[in-house]
């Protein structure tokens, strides 16, 4: 069981470093984060979209 925890920790650190590097080199921008957040809201709250509720952030 400990082996899986180490693999998970290493994977998490790898992803966090990747996100940091992408942010520093402008592959991830605030606009991209907003668009992703809007898309995730629309996916998970699709019934609200069908009811006509606007899930756009900051517009």
Write down the pLDDT at residue 59. Answer: 64
Q: What is the pLDDT of residues 14-26, one digit of tens each?
A: 999 999 999 999 9
> What is the maximum alpha-carbon separation in the chain?
48
Closest CA to 41 of 58, 20, 16, 23: 58
Whole-model pTM: value is 0.68
Taking CA atoms, 37 is separated from 9, 42, 46, 58, in Å, by 25, 9, 13, 11
Q: Residue 1 — very low, low, confident or very high, per pLDDT cuts 50/70/90?
A: low
Q: What is the pLDDT of residues 29-55, one digit of tens each?
A: 999 999 999 999 999 999 998 999 888
The backbone torsions φ and ψ at residue 56, rounded to the nearest 5 degrees and listed phi first, read: -70, 140
């Amino acid at each position: 069981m400990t082996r899986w925890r180490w693999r998970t920790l290493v994977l998490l650190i790898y992803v966090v470093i990747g996100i940091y590097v992408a942010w520093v080199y402008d592959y991830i921008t605030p606009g991209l984060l907003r668009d992703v957040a809007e898309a995730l809201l629309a996916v998970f709250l699709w019934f609200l979209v069908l009811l006509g509720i606007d899930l756009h952030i900051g517009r």
